[in-house]
Each structure stands twice: as structure tokens, then as C-alpha cells.
Chain A
Amino acid sequence: MSDATEANGTVGAAEAAGTGASGERHVRVVLVDDHRMFRTGVQAEIGQTEQTGVEVIGEAADVDQAVTVITATRPEVVLLDVHLPGGGGVEVLRRCAPLSADTERPVRFLALSVSDAAEDVIGVIRGGARGYVTKTITGTDLVDSIFRVQEGDAVFSPRLAGFVLDAFASTDAPPVDEDLDRLTQREREVLRLIARGYAYKEIAKQLYISVKTVESHVSAVLRKLQLSNRHELTRWATARRLV
């Protein structure tokens, strides 16, 4: 969430070019989305490879294609749509689990979806995606998120932070394994600021901690979200009549 405006994507792309030129960062990316128009749009937003350092090495339009392409090219980051023909993003995550578990060259997944419905968000995050951003994101932010995910950090959109807060806040009944499921005060604070639309950098400034610390807090939240007991999440979802 930097200063780029959401309204005009061209400005975002131009700024994205500025971000990448400073360092020699490079990341290989596979785009998975069933709408060709959208894939083209993302390519344009990401911009030129030599400027942003993001190289799109493959595209796929459904689950089978995605698994084939990802296995063949071994990208560092996969931009994954949630709704796909053939089982959805969750199915891709499931079938690529051995690839993302690889410690040498892990394939990491960043969900990029137009949907911000809670069941979609929670579903792919629990499936193993390292982040979730909505399709209204600007080019700069997307490039930023891709690099963040490449380095193993988690990327949350404000809405996702809101869901997580909601999930952990509304269950006041004592959970079975308290240590595992509860967010610490600090993690909650970080999440709150994300939900309010702050960028990681701004959060760091506000809480007098480093950006790295912010990122580790967010990663911890992600870990807890994946491991939190099913019971609690199910109850949360039923309370909102999501399932």
C-alpha cells in the first residue's frame, strides 16, 4: 500500500519501474488465471522485466495446466487465482505441495483474486499460500508483494487482516490448545494496522520496530492461521453462515 493511486494504473506501472531499477532483484513468476485478459493486464502492470526484475516465465488457465507449468518451470513465485476451472486455487496448492515444501528451491504462492469473500481467503491461506491480495492492487504494490513472498514473508491485504482479527477475536470460549491459537498482543496490533490500510513500512514507524519485525509478526500470524484448530474456524465460519 504505497502512495500510488489505485485509480490510474499507468502511474502505478511507471512507479513500479522505479522500484525495481534500484536493486538487482530478480524473480521468476508463473501466472495462473483463467481470464486471458487479466493475465495480459497483470503482465502490463508488472511492467518490463529489466526494470522491475519480475520475469513472467509461464502462464496457465486451469488446474491441470498450472500443475504442469509449475512443475516444468519451477518458478519462485506463483500468482494464483482462487477460482479456476478444475478445482480452484486450493487444488493447485494441494497438488503442488511437494514443490512448495522443497527447502532448496521452494515454490511460493501468492493468491491474487477478485474475490474477498472470507471462505475463499481462508481457504487458500490454509491451503498454503503465503499471501493474499485482491485484484484492485496497484502494479507497484503487486511487484512489492511478489518480492516479499519470494523472500518467504507473508503479504496480507487489509481485508484479510480483518478476517483474521475477526476469526481470532470473536471466539472467547477457551480453545483447546491456547498457546498455538492465540495471537499475541503485538501480532494483533500489527494486524490492526494492516486492516487500517497501513503499509509495512508505516507500521514499523508507528510501532517503533523494524520492517523485518513486522514481517515476522505477519508470518507468525499466517502460521497460526494454518495450524489453528479446525474446530474454531469451522465455528467461526458457521457463525457467519459461510458454510
Chain B
Amino acid sequence: MPEAAAAPLDDPRPPRKLYRSSDGRWLGGVARGLAGHLGLPVVWVRLAFVGLFMAHGLGALLYAAFWFFVPLGVGGVGDQKPPSFVGTETLPDGRRRLVTRKPDKGQIVALLLMVVVAVVFVGSVNLSGAAKAYLVPAVLVAAGVALVWRQADNARRARWVEAGRRRRTLTFLRAGAGVLLVTAGVSGIVVLQGTAQLGAVLQAALAVLVGITLLAGPYLVRMSQDLSQERLMRIRAQERAEVAAHVHDSVLHTLTLIQRNAENANEVRRLARAQERDLRTWLYRPEGTGKEEEDEPATLADAVRRTAAEVEDKHGVPIEVVVVGDCPLDERTSAQMQAAREAMVNAAKYGGEGGAVQVYAEVEDRTVFVSVRDRGPGFDLDAIPADRMGVRESIIGRMERNGGTARLRAVPGGGTEVELEMERAEKTA
């Protein structure tokens, strides 16, 4: 059923993000960016905006909203000439400077088009005298805001091009002009307001506030966007450093030890096993659980793994552990763990030549089952002298005292398996 299996696999592509296009743009790069995102020709999008503009200026509002919220990015529709208009050239004195792009035909056309459309729009709207008085200040405010917003874009682009150091004065000039325009427009509105004393002051304050928000808005939005991106990068770098530190501390250390003990096969094997286990624990454990601390295990799965690790280290026999389910340790299961430990030690001691010892633990609704199995020579249970305490007392006796059962299967030549079963204490959860 491979088709059936292939179907539900996750789509690995990351979600696409909308950017304004930084190259080949006429005004803010909104149309190009949008066209690239939607996979449509740019002309369609531009026409749509112009069309919407006719509908009571909705297009302009939309365009402004996109310009405000969508970050400037590289890309858009990639059908045009390479972005050669913003580049660097090397001056005779060795410095590099930004080559200003020359306004191309498209931009001039766009500008003319905008003026025409704006004139038509203003002409078509039937304004009363009072509203007309507000028009000039409003246009002033709009122009100022536009200037400042463009500034924010330029700052971003300069960072990619890595050449934005110069032309500081122009930057300040632009920003200053924008602030001036907005202030003029806002005060114009306030002056036109006329006589009413308190209301006028309040409105003036409000107008200034709105003006400031409009001016600072784009910077704030972009700053928060940049900030979150930088935070992400920092977290990644930190993680990488942590991995590197751990690899350095433990893995390299172990490899050195292995080189030094190259003749001693058993020691090498023991070191490698211990390191492998350590690395696995470190890589696959969820964050913050048992990475460093050496306290008592709190859950059964943890206890089984730790016991197996200790026996493995002590006796140099690999122990493979499979745990299904988990539950908190209580008195009974602790006793079961001790019995299991004894079984593991026995398996490692007497059955270790047959290969890895297999430990399987399963937590069921009412019982906990542990099986320890080796591939050693096996033995005859009845043939063990009565004074030998290991199996009888430490495993069978301990289990029975705590209300569990232990079964031994020891086929000569076929390995030994110890099965431990214990009732779980009443569920607390």
C-alpha cells in the first residue's frame, strides 16, 4: 500500500510569506509583491488597484495599508531585468558607494498617471467650501507621511546592500521634510478650525498625536518585525552552541579515552556503549528532564532504563531496553525494580556471552510486566543448590512478598527468561 502511505505525508514546504518587492517597483512595491505572491501578472494587480481607486479611493487605502503592514522583501515577480539599479561601484579612491538608481520610464509613467487620476478624482468629488479648505492640509500630511515611510524602506534595503553608511544628510533631510509637511498640514487643519477654545486645543492635541503615530508607525512596526527575527536567530545560535559544548565535553572526551585504550577491546566497548547511551538520552529526551541531575528516578520507565544502564556499565554486557507505557514508582514497583535488577545482573553474568540482554517492560491498566531475557546457556532451576539465594530470594521471594509473581524459563542452550508481574497500586489519577 505504498500510495496510501505516501498520501498522508506532511508537505514539507514552509508557508509562503507576502513581501513587497524591492526591485522593479513603481511606488511601494506592493503590486509587484502581491503579484509574485498570487502568481498573477503585475499589470492585472496594478489595474485592479487603479480600478479600486475609482471606487471612492478604496484602492489608495488598500495600497497604503499593504505598504504599511507588509515588510519589504526580495523577489516578487521575477520576470524583469536584474536589479541593477541599486548596486555598488568602486570609486577611484577605493571606497565603494551606492549607485543611485535612475528613475526609469515606468516610474515616470506611474507618477504622471497618479497625478492625472488624483486630479480627476478631486475634480469629480463635489466638495463644499468647508471641506475644500481641509484638502490642502490633508494632501500635505499625506505627502509628509509618504516621505517618511519611504525612508523606513530605504533603511531596510540599505542593510541588505551593505552600503547605506553614506547619504546620511539626505536621510535626515527627507525625514525632516516629512515631519515639516505633516506638521504644516496638521497645524493648517487646526488653524482652519477657528474659534472654539477648548475644543480647538483638544483637537489640536489629538491631531498632533495622530500625526506622531502616523510618523512613528512604520518604524515601530518594522522594528518589532526585525526584533522577532533577530530573537529567532539568537535562539538558534544558542542551541547550536549548547550542542557543540556537549559534543566537546562528552563525545570528544570519550573518543580520546577510546584511542588510549585501543588494545583493550572490552574497555572500548564499554566506553562506546556508555557514550552512545548518554548521547541518545541527551538528544531524544524532552527538554529539562533528567539531562544532568542524578536524583532518584520518579517513574517506572526511567527506573528501568537507569537500572539497565548501571548493570550495563558494571558488567560490560549490552542491555537493550524496550518500555511500553509508564507510571509513577510506588513501593511495589520499586520492589519489582530491585528484582528486575537482580535478574539483569544474573543475565549479564551468566548469559552475557550470548549477546545483548533484552529487557522489556510494559505498564498495563492493572499490572506491570517486566521480562529480562538473555541468550546464554540457560540452566536447570531444580539443579540449583538450596543454599543459593540469588534467584530464589532476590527475585522470586521478593516478588511474592510484595504480592507479585515471578516465572523463570531457563532452557539449557536456549537462554533464560525471567518474567516479573506485579499488581499496580490503586490508580491515583
Contacts and interface: CB of A to CB of B under 8 A. Distances in A.
A170 B325 contact: yes
Nearest to A114: B276
B324 A101 contact: no
Given A158-B360, A161-B322, A196-B360, A5 B6 contact: no
B320 interface: yes
Given A117-B283, A195-B322, 13 more contacts: A5-B353, A6-B318, A94-B6, A126-B5, A126-B8, A126-B9, A128-B6, A165-B324, A165-B362, A166-B324, A196-B373, A197-B360, A227-B1
B160 interface: no
A8 to B, nearest CB: 9
Interface in B265-287: 269, 283-284, 286-287
Interface centre among A4, A195, A197 (most CB of B within 10 A): A197
Contact of A100 (B2, B318, B322): B2
A161 B371 CA distance: 15
B258 interface: no
Interface SS of chain B? mixed
Given A162-B324, A196-B358, A128 B2 contact: yes
A10 to B, nearest CB: 13
A6 B371 CA distance: 20
Nearest to B317: A7
B3 interface: yes
The 4 closest A-B pairs by CB, nearest first: A197-B358, A162-B322, A128-B2, A128-B5
B284 A5 contact: no
Nearest to B316: A7
B357 to A, nearest CB: 9
Nearest to B371: A196
Contacts of A128: 1-2, 5-6
A93 interface: yes
A226 B9 contact: no
Interface in A99-147: 100-101, 117, 126-128, 136
Nearest to A3: B375
B208 to A, nearest CB: 51
